[in-house]
């Protein structure tokens, strides 16, 4: 009886050991599934992060290009206004110079004619 009792315990021990091993294998498989799921989630999060990063880069690039274009347009507009002001001033200066020239020419012509008449009067009078 003793012998058969030991055998019985050994068989029960073998069954228990097999159950423990089976349970450990189930837990290992479950841990692998969880790990694979987490890796998939992590990869998905990383992909979404990179997509969002690219979207932000494109958005910032577009904003920079828009602002650069606006600033360049403003600079060109201000430059054009300065050119127009200079052209107006130049035109005014030229008109003043022409008036001064015409006045000087008239004054010189009048002076020359006066001298001619003065000389003729002296010669005839």
For the ranges 13-17, 44-48, 51-55, 108-112, the lowest mean pLDDT is seen at 13-17
User: What would the pLDDT profile of 69-83 be if each residue is shown by its tens digit?
Assistant: 999 999 999 999 999
Question: Dihedral angle at the C-alpha atoms of 58, 64, 69, 71, nearest 10 degrees?
Answer: 170
Per-residue b/e over 1-23, b at no fewer than 16 CB within 10 Å? Answer: eeeeeeeeeeeeeeeeeeeeeee
pLDDT bucket at 5, cuts 50 / 70 / 90: very low
The answer on pLDDT for 117 being more than 90 is no
Kindly state the helix (H) or strand (E) to which residue 72 belongs, with its residue range: helix 2-124
The answer on pLDDT for 14 being more than 70 is yes
What is the C-alpha to C-alpha distance for residues 86 and 81, in angstroms, rounded to an integer?
Answer: 9
Percent of the chain with pLDDT over 70: 90
Q: Which two tokens stand for residue 18?
A: 């097999």
pLDDT bucket at 125, cuts 50 / 70 / 90: low
Contacts of 121 (CB under 8 A, 6+ apart): none
Q: Residue 22 to residues 12, 16, 18, 25, 48: CA-CA distances in angstroms?
A: 15, 10, 6, 5, 39
pTM of the predicted structure, to 2 decimals: 0.48
Residue 77: the pLDDT is: 97
Domain boundaries of the chain, sorted by first residue: 1-94
The answer on pLDDT for 9 being more than 60 is no
Tokens 């029960």 found at: 12
Q: Which two tokens stand for residue 122?
A: 């002296």
What is the C-alpha to C-alpha distance for residues 88 and 111, in angstroms, rounded to an integer?
Answer: 34
pLDDT bucket at 121, cuts 50 / 70 / 90: confident
- Per-residue pLDDT, averaged over 39-60, amounts to 97
């Amino acid at each position: 009886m003793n012998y058969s009792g030991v055998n019985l315990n050994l068989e029960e021990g073998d069954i228990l050991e097999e159950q423990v091993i089976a349970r450990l294998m189930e837990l290992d498989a479950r841990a692998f599934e969880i790990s694979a799921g987490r890796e998939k989630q992590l990869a998905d999060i990383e992909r979404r992060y990179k997509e969002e990063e690219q979207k932000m880069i494109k958005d910032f690039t577009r904003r920079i290009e828009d602002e650069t274009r606006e600033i360049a347009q403003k600079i060109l507009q201000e430059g054009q206004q300065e050119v127009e002001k200079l052209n107006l001033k130049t035109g005014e200066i030229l008109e003043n110079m022409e008036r001064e020239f015409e006045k000087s020419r008239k004054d010189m012509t009048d002076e020359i004619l006066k001298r001619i008449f003065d000389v003729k009067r002296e010669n005839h009078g």
